[in-house]
Structure 1
Amino acid sequence: MNTQRTFLVGCPRSGTTLLQSMVASHPKVLSFPETHFFSDTLPINPLLRRLMLHGRRSRRVVLRFLEENGYGELQPFRGRSPFKFYTYRGWCRTLIDIIDRMIVREARKNRMNGTIWGLEKTPRHLHYISSIEETGPASKFLHILRSGPDVVASLYLATNQYPEQWGGKRSIKKCIRWWNDSLRESLKYRRKSNHILVTYEQLIEDPETVLRAICGFLELDFSKEMLQRYHTTADALTREEEKWKDQNRSKSLNKSQKLNAHFDPDTVRYIREQVLPVNLKDFYH
């Protein structure tokens, strides 16, 4: 058995859960709930990351995820002093090693053979790609882009309806900045061979074409199961408290109408003026 890893990233509410569910329905791909390993233990500022040492707090974040998601037996810090501190690079390598062990554990549990891809989906890891890549060249990255105004609308509604799960409510202005920053970050990697950018709009309109492009990127044969099983896969990957993801359990693929349904014309106009312009069809496959 040969295991590989890929990270699915993008601005939250861009279709990351739908795409994760489709890709993870491939018989040679496995996935798990969002780990937040990098985003919950490393500062968002790349310079500050290098100054930080990782001790008990960082270990607690990882151990809590492992216990809550059925990976408690991995015990990645067993035999190590509770007073041990990790440097920035040492901690990044430790996180990648834990993800690799999760992939191996799932592959053995499901009796998978051959080359197996582990898909880690935490949208905010988009801003930690440089840290992940410092551990070695083995990782691949799958980015998903979506119409900025639609993302802003969905972000605003989700954070205001479920503030406890999102770390508080976000204003329209903050949601716009969130999407703009995410877009800039993804575009940095558009010409790198270990990165592929796809769009939510094409995924809805022509899912097979997008999934075939991703299979080519991962050097996998296309599987019809990616189109047939994704709604049940989404159910297994979504936590009970993530109510805003419920639509991914449906078999239907419908474009969101939240922007015009929930915002007055002046607000819609403001959002459209403030989001960075991008021609998503440049990223169609």
Structure 2
Amino acid sequence: MDPDPLPRLFVVGCPRSGTTLLQSFLAAHPDVQAFPETHFFYRLPGDLDGPIPPDLAADLPEVAGFLGRPGLTWPEPATGRLVAQAFLATAAEVTRANGRRTWVEKTPANLYALDRVQRLVPGARFLHILRDGADVAASLCSVSAGWGSSYTPDQAVDLWAECVAITAEHRGRPGHTVVSYAQLAQHPERVLRAACADVGLPYDPVMVAGRAGAASALIKGFETWKGDNTGPLVHRPREKFGLVFDAETQRRVEKRVAEVVVPELTGD
């Protein structure tokens, strides 16, 4: 049996929007088991009864390690549905073994697989986080080289706008909560109380007190770009934006960001 009645939680959003920060607060909760970023669900095939793509098949041992079961034997044939069932069963097992009642998985790109996750995980709750587009663009452009890719300012704004549109489409639907990064960083207890009430998780003050330690346990050694999450909670809007972009680029990015309709956020 699953360790519910608490729902399984998925943190989603544009990369560099604060998904790690939000997951770190949740990971500090005594009822919540948190897993490192698995990049699993969005890579499943659209036809869940079809074979998983070769790149995901090759990464299954790594996914098992992220779940805390490096020796996990995945089912054969490795169809989307069967490997998802194995993922969920293993996550439930690890959660129970650690005395927790539910779990949270944070992979930003799961934003593109919301319907698929809902089919596979009945009662799943999604926590979307939204951040100022100018700050997201600056952060994407400054750190993405460490991911083996790079973004131009316009590509970064395009990605942010696309993610905002997906969140806006799902805002108000059952199972979806939208959180403001700015408000979370400045007023974590207030925002977390509201978000916890929305997803059916009892708020616990240790979510704030234990956030940095929980982040340290979640972040992989090579994920240096996430290091700020392990230190004091500081909100410095547009600081990196002014450092990364020249004046002309700043004006162009600000104009494009202002044209995007951003949904109302929890905590605003």
Q: Same fold (TM over 0.5)?
A: yes
Q: Where does residue 12 of structure 1 map in the other structure? A: 15
Kindly provide the amino acid, as one letter, of the partner of residue 143 in structure 1: H
1:94 aligns with 2:83: yes
Q: Deviation per CA, 1:19-59, whole angstroms, max 9, x where unpaired?
A: 100111111111011010123444xxxxxx34963266533
| Alpha-carbon distance in 1 for matches of 2:70, 2:158 | 37
Return the offset for 1:173: 1.7
Query: For the aligned residues, what is the CA RMSD?
Result: 2.2
* Alignment map for 1:1-285 (pairs within 5 Å): 2-3=3-4, 4-42=7-45, 49-50=46-47, 53-54=51-52, 57-67=55-65, 70-77=68-75, 80=76, 84=77, 86=79, 91-92=80-81, 94-108=83-97, 110-112=98-100, 116-135=101-120, 137-160=122-145, 162=146, 166-256=147-237, 257-275=239-257, 276-278=259-261, 282-284=265-267
Aligned residues: 262
Indicate how the Cα distance of structure 1 residues 211 and 283 shifts in structure 2: closer, same or farther if over 3 A, else same.
Answer: closer
Distance 2:159 2:85 in 1: 26
**Distance in structure 1 (CA, Å) of the matches to 2:113 and 2:263:** 23
The answer as to whether partners of 1:92 and 1:132 remain within 8 angstroms in 2 is no
Distance 1:194 1:93 in 2: 24
Q: Which amino acid aligns with 1:14?
A: S
Quickly say closer, same or farther: Cα 1:55–1:186, change in 2 above 3 A: closer
SS at structure 2 position matched to 1:8: strand
Say which SS state the counterpart of residue 186 (structure 1) adopts.
helix
Q: Residues 96 and 215 from structure 1, CA distance in 2 versus in 1: closer, same or farther, beyond 3 angstroms?
A: farther
- What TM-score, normalized by structure 1, do the two folds share? 0.84
Report the equivalent of 1:46: none
Q: CA deviation at 1:191?
A: 1.1
Gapped regions of structure 2 (runs ≥ 5): none
Counterpart Cα distance in 2 of 1:65 and 1:282? 32
- Determine the C-alpha separation between the residues in 1 that align with 2:14 and 2:124: 19
Answer whether contact 2:11 2:106 (CA < 8 A) is retained. yes
Q: How far apart are 1:152 and its partner, in Å?
A: 0.7
- Does the Cα contact within 8 Å between 1:39 and 1:128 map onto a contact in 2? yes
Q: Relative to 1, partners in 2 of residues 1:67 and 1:22: Cα closer, same or farther, differing over 3 Å?
A: closer
Name the CA shift for 1:106/1:269 in 2 (closer, same or farther; >3 Å): same
Q: Structure 2 CA distance, aligned partners of 1:191 and 1:154? A: 28
One-letter identity of the residue aligned with 1:106: T
Q: CA deviation at 1:11?
A: 0.2
SS in 2 for 1:188: helix
1:208/1:227 contact within 8 Å kept: yes
SS at match of 1:119: strand
- Give the structure-2-normalised TM-score: 0.89
Q: Matched residues in 1 for 2:212 and 2:78: separation?
A: 42
1:83-108: CA deviations, max 9, x gaps? x352xxxx146325413422321331
Structure 2: distance between partners of 1:202 and 1:187: 18
Q: 5+ unaligned residues in a row in structure 1: which ranges?
A: 43-48
2:53 & 2:186 partners in 1: Cα distance?
Answer: 47
**CA–CA separation in structure 1 for the residues paired with 2:186 and 2:39:** 30
Q: Is the 8 A contact 2:35 2:104 kept in 1?
A: yes
1:111–1:133 Cα change, 3 Å: closer
Give the whole-Å Cα distance in 2 for the aligned partners of 1:96 and 1:13. 29
Contact 1:93-1:135 within 8 A present in 2 as well: no
1-structure distance, mates of 2:21, 2:229: 6
Structure 1 residue 280 displacement after superposition: 6.2
- What is the percentage of aligned positions where both structures have the same residue? 31
